[in-house]
A and B are shown apart, each in its own frame.
Chain A
Amino acid sequence: MNLTPETLRKIDEVIPHYPVKRSAVLPLLHFVQEEQGYICDEAIEWIAARLEIQPINVYELVTFYPMLRRKPVGRRHIRVCRTLSCALMGGYRTCAEFQSQFNTGLGGVSPDGEVTVEFVECLASCGTAPVVMIDDRLHEHVDPARARALSQEIKAAAPAAGAR
């Protein structure tokens, strides 16, 4: 496992927060996914060894929690809220707009490798529906026109980010 010194530092710092090492498994999974983009087999074994638990105890969390993934996502991760308040305000149309902008289905990586569009459950910002998270940032009142504008921004930033 090649983790950056920064990630290793965060890992060393977080483990003593808990009286029982195993509690640190979720934070470690977050750190590794933030650095590597997803959780590979080697990461599962490395985390298990670091916390002195069995790999299955790590794997069973990766398969349970919706935010943990076993495959990489696109350069940008678009998560559209699917739940009732957003849907009432047009969340499904917003999601369809993102999909058509990047010519992609739900969950996979778009053909240009730029984005992954996902439907997620309630993002707890129902008063500003429909809402979308792009990477770590929340965007409010995202109707199809706003979705088009956000898509253009992502496309425009692609070359600067070193388009593949």
Chain B
Amino acid sequence: MPAPEQHRLIFRHIDEPGYSTDLACYLRSGGYEVLRKSVRRRPEELVDEVKKSGLRGRGGAGFPCGVKWTLLDRKSGKPIYLIVNADESEPGTFKDRYIIHRDPHQLVEGIMITCFANRVERTFIYIRGEFPEGAKILETAIAEARAANFVGPNVLGTGYGCEIYLHRGAGAYICGEETGLIESLEGKRPYPRIKPPYFPAVLGLYQCPTIVNNVETICHVKHIADMGGDAFSKIGTPNNTGTRILCVSGHVRRPGYYEFDVGKLTMGQLLNEVCGGPLAGRKFKAVIPGGASAKVLRFGERYKGRRKVGAEMLEYDWGVEDIPMDFDSLAMVGSMGGSGGVIVMDDSVSMVEALGNINAFYSHESCGQCTPCREGSLWMKKITARMAHGGARPEDGTLLKSVADQIAGRTICAFGEACAWPTQSFVAKFGDEFAEYGRQKGRPRSDSEPELV
């Protein structure tokens, strides 16, 4: 079956010749019209539209956005904050970069609709420190929008006021975790908070009710307010609605960003047709479907079970190529849709060395608050580095698994799982390669193959 056409909702203008980041250009493309319409509606209606839309968060967890908004404590009398998570740091993910750098006003409009719907009067965009150019572009966009009365004390003459402030991070992955982000924004070390009781919807920024949404999620809110929740819910597949940006990197002919109806495209269509297949003379070996922390999938393995399609339960028997790219299907095969970052590895890659690369990342980025994660991520890195540099032992796979198994589920935040899942899945699926690597005491390096660790 040929791959469906891309459906560019968020990325509609991203590659348009002549499209620029300034307000005049955005207004020419119908910009801020949805905000104009939205501020004339009741805020509750907008929340209802988002609930009806079935929009799931695009940052990684896939939590229903409307439910998140409904959980807000609106009776406390405390101010409600919105934090836009622009700390895009999950390896393999680069969608928010293009929204911020090429269509910043779309984000600003989405923010203002979200704020109006939730009666937010102060918003922070937490942008990662490594986007200095993006920060300047966003600051300019916010200033332009403020001068045109789309942001500020009296939005479009309605009497409703809301300010947007930009807050730059400083290179820490853990700030993408929502409670770590909140601590960072409060001026502290970004140690994640324990839930309960610190659910941001109740006890978030400055102990006030807070919404934390990803950049892409916020942009979808604009389109939901535009077309209505019902229409949005008809895009994609049930429970996996709307469009989604998939970021493909690694060993394919055409890496890049692609936007499709969620679940209407399979992994095989994405990699072989949209991305042009493997590099010359190579075969796909493995793919990480949703950012580095998602469990790896091995080409050639089969996934069998029963799934609900409409009212029926149907058998499925999928290879990696057959998996629909939606939250639920990727969860069924034991991985996740995560942040939409698809990292492809071909048969030139040693899985031991690829894991070594990932482990170095998590070891560097563990915040150090919880012992199992701080120590475990470091040991997994040390073991895979030793293996890659000539000191591999046959029992290393078992050792790695035992370390990983002692992290997941024993930490305050999901970083524990994020750092354990790669090791658990690489060892489970490529156990033969880890054992062989151990017997060979590593493999001789050759210049034709990439160094990863």
> Which A residues have a C-beta under 8 Å from some C-beta of B?
17-20, 22-27, 29-30, 51, 53, 57, 60-61, 64-68, 79, 82-85, 87-90, 92-93, 120-129, 133, 136-138
Is there a chain A Cβ closer than 8 Å to B156's Cβ? no
The reply to whether B89 and A122 contact each other, CB–CB distance below 8 Å, is yes
Return chain B residues, CB-CB under 8 Å to A129. Answer: 249-250, 255
Interface size class of B (residues with CB under 8 A): 35 or more
Q: Please tell me if B349 contacts chain A, counting CB pairs below 8 Å.
A: yes
In the complex, are the beta carbons of B255 and A92 less than 8 A apart?
Answer: no
Choose from B173, B257, B349 the contact partner of A121 (Cβ within 8 Å). B173
Contact of A124 among B128, B188, B190, B250 (CB under 8 A): B128
Contact indicator A82/B360 (Cβ below 8 Å): yes
B206 within 8 Å of A by Cβ? Answer: yes
- Nearest to B292 among chain A residues (CB) is A84
8 A-B pairs with least C-beta separation: A126-B249, A65-B170, A66-B171, A22-B187, A67-B171, A85-B249, A67-B170, A136-B132
A26 touching B452 in the complex, CB below 8 Å, given contacts A125-B97, A127-B255: no
Contact residues of B between 179 and 206, Cβ < 8 Å to A: 184-190, 206
- Which residues on the B side are within 8 Å of A60 (C-beta)? 189
Q: Is the CB of A125 within 8 A of B133?
A: no
List the A side residues contacting B251 at CB < 8 Å: 88
In B327-363, the 8 Å CB interface with A consists of: 341, 343, 345, 349, 354, 357-358, 360-361
Complex-state Cα separation, A123 to B249, whole angstroms: 13
Contact B452 A92 (CB under 8 A): yes
CA distance A120 to B91 in the complex (A): 12
Q: B452 touching A87 by the CB < 8 A rule?
A: yes
CA distance A68 to B172 in the complex (A): 11
Query: Which residues of chain A are near B170, meaning CB under 8 Å?
Result: 26, 29-30, 61, 65-68
Residues of B within 8 A of A (CB): 88-94, 96-97, 122, 128-133, 163, 165, 167-173, 184-190, 206, 247-251, 255-257, 292, 341, 343, 345, 349, 354, 357-358, 360-361, 364-365, 367, 450-453
**Which of A18, A53, A68, A136 is the one whose CB lies under 8 Å from B133?**
A136
Cβ B358 vs Cβ A57 within 8 A: no
- Report how far A22 CA is from B186 CA in the complex, Å: 6
A78, B185: Cα distance in complex, Å: 27
Q: Is the CB of B133 within 8 A of A138?
A: yes
CA distance A132 to B61 in the complex (A): 29
Interchain Cβ contacts under 8 Å between A and B, 9 examples: A22-B187, A22-B188, A64-B367, A65-B171, A85-B249, A120-B130, A124-B130, A126-B341, A127-B256
Most buried by A among B91, B168, B251: B91
Pairwise interchain contact A92-B256, C-beta atoms closer than 8 A: no
Docked pose: A85 CA to B256 CA in angstroms = 12
The smallest beta-carbon distance between A90 and chain B, in angstroms, is 6
Bound: A141/B371 CA distance, A: 38
Please give me the residue from chain B that is nearest to A126 by CB atom: B249
In angstroms, Cα B249 to Cα A84, docked, is: 9
Would B171 and A126 count as touching, CB distance under 8 A?
A: no
Q: How far is the CA of A18 from the CA of B91 in the complex (A)?
A: 30
- Assess the A84–B173 pair: CB atoms within 8 A: no
How far is B168's CA from A104's CA once the two chains are assembled, in angstroms? Answer: 30
The answer on a CB contact under 8 Å between B133 and A83 is no
Q: For the complex formed, measure the closest distance between the CB of B275 and the CB atoms of chain A, giving whole angstroms.
A: 10
Cβ-defined contact, A126 with B255, below 8 A? yes
Does the CB pair A19–B206 fall under 8 Å? yes
Closest to A28 in B: B187
Residues on B with beta carbons closer than 8 Å to the beta carbon of A26 = 167-170, 184, 187
Q: Which residue of A lies closest to B354 (CB)?
A: A84
Beyond the given A65-B129, A122-B292, A124-B97, please list 9 additional residue pairs across the A-B interface where CB-CB is below 8 A: A23-B186, A30-B170, A64-B367, A66-B364, A84-B250, A87-B452, A89-B250, A120-B130, A122-B173
